[in-house]
Amino acid sequence: MVQAVKLEIGSTQTLAHQENNVWVLNEIPNYSDELIKCQRYLCSFPAYATVGLCRAYSTTEAQVTIFTPVRMFGTVKLTWIGSGSETSFTVRGNGSAFNISDSNITYSNTIGSTVLFTVTGTGFTNNVIYGIRSGNSFCLSSEP
């Protein structure tokens, strides 16, 4: 049974110590504080969920904004983790729906608690905002 989890960088842990071959907690971590620390490096998203918005800059290029619980650090990478083979986002809006495959997604920036990706595809209408739905479960991970 898991009693505590704590994010610690490096090879030394400070969560617990052993006394007579029994692990004893040094402190009881605050769950919400530790979750926020973890989500700076990894956020997972469920399949078929609306995860953000997309604003078209032309008929072939747009910026996807994915909302995260906290600001992520460093360069953010998108990884599909679902059990199916659908590794794309569905773009819906302006009376149309089409897919953006992950090969057409490039990292752009992080601003506050959003991750921005530039995407290329066909079917966009310039200056239209679309909803973005995930085709499968995915995660955003970052390295400091």
Q: 136: domain CATH number?
A: 2.40.30
Whether residue 74 sits in one domain with residue 15:
no
Burial of 132: CB neighbours in 10 Å, binned 0-12, 13-18, 19+:
buried
Whether residue 35 sits in one domain with residue 63:
no
The three-state secondary structure class of 59 is coil
Q: Report how far apart the first and last C-alpha atoms of the chain are (Å, whole number).
A: 31
Whether residue 33 sits in one domain with residue 80:
no
Whether residue 78 sits in one domain with residue 49:
yes
| pTM: predicted TM-score of the whole model, two decimal places | 0.73
**Total of domains in the chain:** 2
Tally of residues, the chain: 144
**Would you state the pLDDT for residue 130?**
92
Whether residue 99 sits in one domain with residue 125:
yes
8 A C-beta contact, residue 120 and residue 104? yes
Q: 44-95: per-residue pLDDT in tens?
A: 998 888 889 999 999 888 888 998 999 888 788 888 886 665 677 888 888 8
Residues facing 100 on adjacent strands: 89
Provide the domain limits for residue 33.
Answer: 1-39
